[in-house]
A and B are shown apart, each in its own frame.
Chain A
Amino acid sequence: MRTRAILGSILASASVLIIGYQAGVSVTTGDGTSLTLPVGSTTSESVGTTADSRAISGPTDGTYTGSSISTRFGNVQVAVTITSGSISEVTALQLTDADGRSVQISNRAAPILRSEVLASQSAQVSNVSGATYTTRAYLGSLQSALDQAGA
């Protein structure tokens, strides 16, 4: 009887874990949007590229709302304001907020991302450690807003 209970427990636990793991794999490959976006080239390079692109056409002034990017900690959406052809403001419309911890993380990451974006004048800024999902989604939404502006 004891043997049966032990073997049964091992079998049941192992199957439950495998099913859970498989389900997890499909979840992570499913929302690829936030994972495939580019992150973190160096600041000096990005300044160069923005300067170049501005020389050719330059973004149109105005406020552009980026697409909403979903992560497993909630959706992220930002708006960018272009004044005199440069990024003058980034506003977070929505940040990862699925739970208390995510709110805390995004509240810490958002000001850092904003100032880095304003400094680099692009979506090419480095990852805020401990806020990878927020960073990726924030920059992804920002990039789509910049695309609309024609930057």
Chain B
Amino acid sequence: MTTHTSTRRLTAQPLDVAAVADYRRTFARRARRSDLLVMALWASGAAAAALFLASGGASQFTSLTETITSIGIIAGLIGTDFILVMLVLAARIPLIDAAIGHDRAIAVHRSLGKPALYLLLGHGALLLVGYGMATGINPIAEIGPMLALPDMPLAFIGLGLLIAVVISSLVAVRRRFSYEGWHLIHLLSYVAVAFALPHQLSVGGVLSDGTAQRIYWIALYVIALGAIVTFRMIEPIVSSLRHGLRVSAVTAIAPGVTTIQFSGRALRQLGTSGGQFFIWRFWTGRTWWHSHPLSLSAMPTDRSARITVRALGEGSAQLGTLPVGTRVSIEGPYGLFSAAARTSPKLAIIAAGIGVTPVRALLEHASFAPGDATILLRASTPEETYHWDEIRAIAAAKGAACYEMIGHRPASTASWMSAADVDRGVTLATAFPDLADSDVFLCGPTPWLDLVEADVRTAGIRPHQIHSERFDW
């Protein structure tokens, strides 16, 4: 491990009390918003059930038949609420992104998928049983009369589509698809929602005309779909047109690694915080259907921006040959891998491989006192030291300690460090003496990152101090 630093320090620096209080306040505000979002999620589920109770009260549970039917309806309402919450979480609403970050929003989105599907399957099954019992026929035979209800055939198709969407998103199944293939199936969830809506309004008595329930649910749909349309369609189109990004240079900096420079207008007004990412689309005949979530590898100037891409998949491999002048559309900036996530004046940054890109921008943008930031750059071979020269220069200029660690991981033990450094006795604590008081920013390939995260947690660092960016979608 080699060191490049202008202010190499031997002891931990004392903390600046005012700065600490500032970061604490910012973090407390963000934590409050995040907690409010969690509460809103659960309260919306409860509201679905409460509005059902409000429409008929306990009288809907007087017989077994009615109880089964009522539970079935509640399952459908809560399931639908979850689906709408999932839409809101996937809508990349700036407020939600700033509070919990895109990663966590998508993690919650994913975790709601299966419960929502189970609730909706339960909804169908319980109502077949309940309606069947009311008419005195078995649940299978009830399918006929149920399909005879207006809007019900659509609802059945909607449920079928939803099953397809959730199955295609199971980890094991998802690996078989390309991102685009999976995304195409995922778009069916909008069709599923659209197909399910009419039966909610026409079949169930809960949402019948003129009720407060109907107004509430229609408002939920408007909010969820409105958020998707606004933040995933209109806003990106407006932003892309306004900033008029075009590819201005494509440079190979290492085998399979390319920097792409862009020219554009008023790029500072994108409001990018160093470390955030955009979703890029390059409008050539071969590349337009791939979208690429990529971090800026430098802070944009008013007229130029830069990303650094490593050919990881079929789509990103084609980016190395993009012609100059290609139009580029963007969605973003997104993510909390930035100053917005900080909870302390001190920074501990560890990045591996192409994971240096957001770290490069983060370091450039971050404010810290000389000596308050430590960076550890990690690569398996000397060929993978992308932008290390730039990071060295920024670290030197801003007074950050910069360690470099090159070499393969040890074969025998699970460590994120190089075998040579493990043997020398290097640990997190020796590299980062202020770790306990620092925000830890980690970026690199998932298996490696998992090891670093485990190590950082073992060192007693609390989850809100750890900020990770993984390369997977």
- A residues neighboring B (CB under 8 Å): 1, 4-6, 8-10, 12-14, 16-17, 19-21, 23-25, 27-28, 35, 72-73, 98-102, 104-105, 108, 129-131
Contact = CB atoms under 8 A, between A and B. Distances in A.
B341 to A, nearest CB: 14
13 contacts: A5-B38, A12-B42, A14-B46, A16-B43, A23-B50, A24-B57, A27-B54, A72-B56, A73-B205, A73-B208, A104-B149, A129-B134, A130-B134
A63 B49 CA distance: 45
B54 A24 contact: yes
A24 B55 CA distance: 6
Interface in B47-86: 47, 49-59, 65
* Interface residue tally on B, bucketed by range: 35 or more
A7 to B, nearest CB: 9
B151 interface: yes
B214 to A, nearest CB: 11
B303 to A, nearest CB: 41
A129 B130 CA distance: 12
Nearest to A25: B57
Contacts of B134: 105, 129-131
B183 interface: no
A11 to B, nearest CB: 8
Contacts of B150: 100
Nearest to B204: A99
A23 B148 CA distance: 33
Nearest to B43: A12
B160 interface: no
B199 to A, nearest CB: 8
Contact of B50 (A6, A19, A25, A130): A19
A35 B60 CA distance: 13
Nearest to A101: B203
Contact of A28 (B47, B58, B148, B207): B58
B94 interface: no
Given A9-B38, A12-B40, A72-B205, 17 more contacts: A8-B36, A12-B39, A12-B46, A13-B46, A16-B50, A17-B53, A19-B50, A20-B52, A21-B54, A24-B54, A28-B56, A101-B204, A104-B145, A104-B148, A105-B134, A129-B65, A130-B136
Contact of A21 (B41, B57, B131): B57
A20 to B, nearest CB: 3
A27 B464 CA distance: 46
Interface string B91-114: 000000000000000000000000
B53 A23 contact: yes
A98 B205 contact: yes
Contact of A24 (B31, B58, B203): B58
Given A17-B49, A99-B208, A28 B57 contact: yes
B16 interface: no
